[in-house]
Amino acid sequence: MKDIFLLLLFLQLTYLADAQFAPAANVAGTTAIAKDSSAFVAWATGCVIQRGYMDIAVPDSGYATVGSSNSAIGMAGQNGVVSLGDNGIASLTFANPIYNGQGFDFAVFENGFYTQSPLAFLEFAFVEVSSEGNNFFRFPVTSNIQDTTQVPMTGVDCALVNNLAGKYVSGFGTPFDLEELKNEIGLDVNNITHVRLIDAVGSINNQYATNDQFGQKINDPYPTLFASSGFDLDAVGVINQVNTTAFEELRITNYELRIFPNPSSNDVTLKVNEELVGEKFKLVDVTGKVLMEEQIQSQYSILNSKYFSKGVYFISVGVQTTKLIIE
């Protein structure tokens, strides 16, 4: 009996060591965000779909057909889902860019469902972002799901994966934090215009498998040889979005208003033309909130770093404005 107890304890500790990421929705420590959360300020407004096969190993199976690009637009749960098929792609756009704010910045919704909690039927997708629509950068993915035996239809425990869209069941978004990509050259994490989802083929066959950042095969229920094959995209909700309407009256220029160093991690110098001395300047954040408003006393002014946390700001004088990035 003692030996059996020790074996069970060992297996439990091994499981806990593997299940090292956030657990299922409504469980303590989860990162799942409900679709009706007040955290969401906007939703995707455009979507382009490139369908994948119902079974990538059987091209004659044809392509996934459920839903359309319009299914991924708007709030989660409103327009059904669009099925990407094996290795299918969805590229989403937004009315205003997403920026790297406090905490998570956006979330992706799929239509997974519980089989026997904490196990759920989950289909995964890689998440990539771009600040100009051409060059995309992928969130680093980790999967601790074993890759020696194909996952059955009974599903997996979401606590075994990180940074894969589809981690949570229907009605709960998988969130992503742009802070993880802030050092990627060629990506402006404060001006994300596109979010791209690529179905992660769940096969453990070397010929078709997709892998996480460490080379581990991503193992989810496969094959799913039906019209709703692959990742089923419901929606993408925005948490931190640039409010451009707050700056419509401001014309961007570098001739009458300059700030340096920019980007900065310390005090900032504000330089204006002599004609602007005596005018008021405003410091606002990306939501349009005025953080500071003072009169300019000379052509050179020092802005104390105590006013700043990491992020994007706008400094304006009259109808002139420029962007300030604090690192």
Q: Which helix or strand (DSSP H or E) is residue 15 part of?
A: helix 2-18
pLDDT category at 216 given cuts 50, 70, 90 is very high
CA distance 47 to 226: 23
pLDDT greater than 50 at residue 24: yes
pLDDT of residue 16: 40
Give the lowest-confidence range in 63-77, 145-159, 240-254.
240-254
SS3 category, 249? coil
pLDDT greater than 80 at residue 155: yes
C-alpha distance from residue 312 to each of 208, 259, 285, 301, 323 (Å) = 41, 13, 7, 19, 7
- Domains and their CATH numbers in the chain: 17-238 (no CATH), 244-326 (2.60.40.10)
pLDDT of residue 255: 42
> By the 8 A CB rule, do 31 and 177 touch?
no
Please state the pTM of the whole predicted model.
0.75
CA distance 163 to 142: 7
Span 169-188, average pLDDT:
95
Q: Is the dihedral angle over the CA atoms 314, 315, 319, 322 positive or is it negative?
A: negative
**What is the pLDDT of the chain when averaged over all its residues?**
87
pLDDT of residue 19: 58
pLDDT tens digits, one per residue of 266-276 = 888 888 778 77
